[in-house]
């Protein structure tokens, strides 16, 4: 049986690596994106993975987008909530809009996608939801009260939904990446990035495919006894 997976924010960075990893497992993969049409087109041409455009912060767009994917690829069995944005700033400088945009996308997107897919997974008796959190949701980070709050919320969301899905064959887990060599991290000033790497015990940034391998395991049949868990992949930077 061929599974169908949706990876939000799946056309670049960690999301692209996850999309490719799930394709390698034999799944039909749909990758969502929010804005960069040229990048999405290049991604599809290079990988053969279909890209669908919608904003995960828009509840109705998620419902409609999932219906479109199911019409093209079949019922959705796997969702990886990877889409995320940053609007960094200290609380004194942060606008309400910067707060709301990050909460609505990074945390609200998880709710929206689960509402669109969890009922079908439950009815079919099998499903996998993996939510991408962050080391900064576990440990906090100066200048990121919005991002840290949203990512921390993902871990609570994961544990609660896992309890709803456990008896009906639907697992819900999270991965908390550390600092990964993506475009988002590349935007960090060099002197700041150097200080970050100095705090990582393994002495380097992580790679997107290292996160993707963790996601692939959690989305597999073999991970059926793993639910409500957060897998930290951070080079030892934060342990608890």
| Active-site residue, 52 included | no
Q: How many CA atoms lie within 13 A of 64 on its CB side?
A: 9
Angle value at C-alpha 34, between 154 and 87, nearest 5 degrees: 55
3-state secondary structure of 4: strand
Query: Could you tell me the two tokens for 186?
Result: 């590349």
Beta strands in 168-212 (DSSP E): 170-177
Q: What does the alpha-carbon distance between residue 58 and residue 208 come to, in Å, rounded to a whole number? A: 27
Phi, psi of 23 (to 5 degrees): -60, -40
Question: CB-based burial of residue 60 (10 Å sphere; 0-12 exposed, 13-18 middle, 19+ buried)?
Answer: exposed
Whole-angstrom Cα Rg for the chain: 17
Contact between 28 and 48 under an 8 Å Cβ cutoff? The reply is no
* Length in residues, the chain: 240
Tokens 């061929």 locate to 2
Longest CA span, the chain: 53
Helix (H/G/I), strand (E/B), else coil: 12: coil
**Catalytic one among 33, 52, 147, 179?**
147
Question: Active-site positions?
Answer: 147
């Amino acid at each position: 049986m061929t599974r169908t997976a949706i990876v939000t924010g799946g056309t670049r960075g960690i999301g692209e690596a996850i999309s490719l990893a799930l394709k390698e497992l034999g799944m039909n993969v749909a990758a969502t994106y929010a804005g960069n049409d040229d990048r999405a087109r290049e991604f599809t041409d290079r990988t053969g993975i279909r890209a669908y455009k919608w904003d995960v912060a828009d509840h109705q767009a998620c419902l409609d987008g999932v219906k479109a994917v199911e019409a093209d690829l079949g019922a959705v069995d796997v969702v990886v909530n990877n889409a995320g944005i940053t609007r960094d700033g200290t609380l004194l400088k942060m606008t309400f809009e910067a707060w709301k945009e990050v909460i609505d996308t990074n945390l609200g997107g998880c709710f929206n996608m689960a509402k669109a897919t969890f009922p079908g997974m439950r009815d079919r008796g099998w499903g996998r939801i993996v939510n991408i959190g962050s080391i900064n949701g576990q440990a906090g980070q100066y200048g990121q009260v919005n991002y840290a709050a949203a990512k921390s919320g993902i871990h609570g969301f994961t544990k609660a939904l896992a309890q709803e899905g456990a008896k009906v064959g639907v697992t819900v887990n999270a991965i908390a990446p550390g600092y990964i060599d993506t475009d988002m991290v590349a935007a960090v000033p060099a002197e700041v990035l150097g200080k970050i790497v100095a705090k990582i015990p393994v002495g380097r940034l992580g790679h997107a495919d290292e996160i993707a391998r963790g996601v692939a395991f959690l989305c597999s049949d073999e991970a059926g006894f793993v639910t409500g868990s957060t897998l930290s992949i951070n080079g030892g930077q934060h342990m608890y």
